[in-house]
Amino acid sequence: MAIVVNLENERSKKGASLDALMALVSDDLALVNTSIVERMHSPVELIPQLAGHIIAAGGKRLRPMLTLASAKLCGHREQRHIHLAACVEFIHTATLLHDDVVDDSSLRRGLASANAVWGNKPSVLVGDFLFSRSFELMVEDGSLQVLAILSHAASVLSEGEVLQLVTANDTSTSEDAYLEVIRAKTAALFAAACQIGAVVSDRPKVEEEALESYGLNLGIAFQLIDDVLDYSAKQEKLGKALGDDFREGKITLPVILAFRRGDDAERQFWRRTLEDLEQAEDGSDLREAQRLMEKHQSLADTVKRARHYGAIARDALGIFPDSPAKSALTDIIDFCIERAF
């Protein structure tokens, strides 16, 4: 039986959800979904078939919803944000296709991953197609500033994935190096998704920077909680395989904290399982990893770090007047963190 790490004392009483955000952007999100379906079309049948598989797999569309909500926060009245939100989703989906190949993942949101169904080569190539579609949408928008923001986010995201490969299986990775990875591979797209909401609304630079800061820190908090979930029983309820990061030897903050706080024997355990990838097939090593994290409170402390970045994201919204959009964006901070419970 797997160890269930008790993080109950970290639970917020609010019971945050996506409901407010969904209600705020539901009409716009329907238009985004229509745009996604239209732009997935290709005479090469495998492309919409494979892309549709992952896009229809039940993702929350969080990143495009952040673009829609940020635009509403800034009073945007036109339709530019619709295609740009679709662009953000294409960038995200392309990276998921590539990530599943790199990680040799067999599941995505509880369903067979695209690479498990069609193989690695089609998954990589369709990911490239979606990246190309995203750039078409950027060009059609016609704003060099939007193009600069989203293209830069795409390149930083790729750098983050490569940097994660460099730090994989290296138990000497520092917390700063880990944060550099997640700022690039996750938070950069969150930041860009929010920032362009201010850009298309022609808002002052201070509001653009505030939304960029909000997205960046929300993205860091989001990834920290994702790294907690990989060792939590809650992961299985979300339709994801428990311990994927562990099996792949990924060095995440829960590992870094447990490694630093452990004794020599414990550090040798982490080197064997994560650097050498010598892991018992019966799951006992994963259970031991969970036990050590509970012993050293590395999961609970990672959640605390996430709350810290969530507080910075909340402060970034302080310059905006109260509105349904501001309330929804604030609720998302709590939602992202409460996924751990």
Q: List, in order, residues 6 or more apart from 145 with CB less than 8 Å away.
A: 199
- Give, for all 341 residues of the chain, the pLDDT tens digit: 333 334 443 434 445 678 999 999 999 999 999 999 999 999 999 999 998 888 776 578 999 999 999 999 999 989 999 999 999 999 999 999 998 888 887 777 667 888 888 989 999 999 999 999 999 999 999 999 999 999 999 999 999 999 988 888 999 999 999 999 999 999 999 999 999 999 999 999 999 999 999 999 999 999 999 999 999 866 555 555 688 899 989 999 999 999 999 999 999 999 999 999 999 999 999 999 999 999 999 999 999 999 999 999 999 999 999 999 999 999 999 999 988 76
User: How far apart are alpha carbons 127 and 98 in whole angstroms?
Assistant: 6
User: How far apart are alpha carbons 102 and 105 in whole angstroms?
Assistant: 8
**What is the DSSP code (8-state) at residue 282?**
T
**Residues 113/100, Cβ–Cβ less than 8 Å:** yes
Residue 15: per-residue pLDDT: 53
Angle at 236 between CA 232 and CA 238, to 5 degrees: 105
Residue 5: per-residue pLDDT: 39
| pTM of the complete model | 0.91
**Residues 57/6, Cβ–Cβ less than 8 Å:** no
Q: List, in order, residues 6 or more apart from 83 with CB less than 8 Å away.
A: 35, 137, 140, 141
Fold classification of 17-334 is: Farnesyl Diphosphate Synthase (1.10.600)
User: How far apart are alpha carbons 126 and 198 in whole angstroms?
Assistant: 31
For 146-196, the DSSP string reads HHHHHHHHHHHHHHHHHHHHHHTT-TT--HHHHHHHHIIIIIHHHHHHHHH
SS3 for 102? helix
Quickly count: other Cβ atoms within 10 Å of residue 163's Cβ. Answer: 18
256, 331, 66, 71: CA torsion to nearest 10: -140
Rounded to the nearest 5°, which phi and psi values hold at 83?
A: -70, -30
User: How far apart are alpha carbons 238 and 103 in whole angstroms?
Assistant: 19
User: How far apart are alpha carbons 85 and 295 in whole angstroms?
Assistant: 42
Q: Which two tokens stand for residue 330?
A: 């604030």
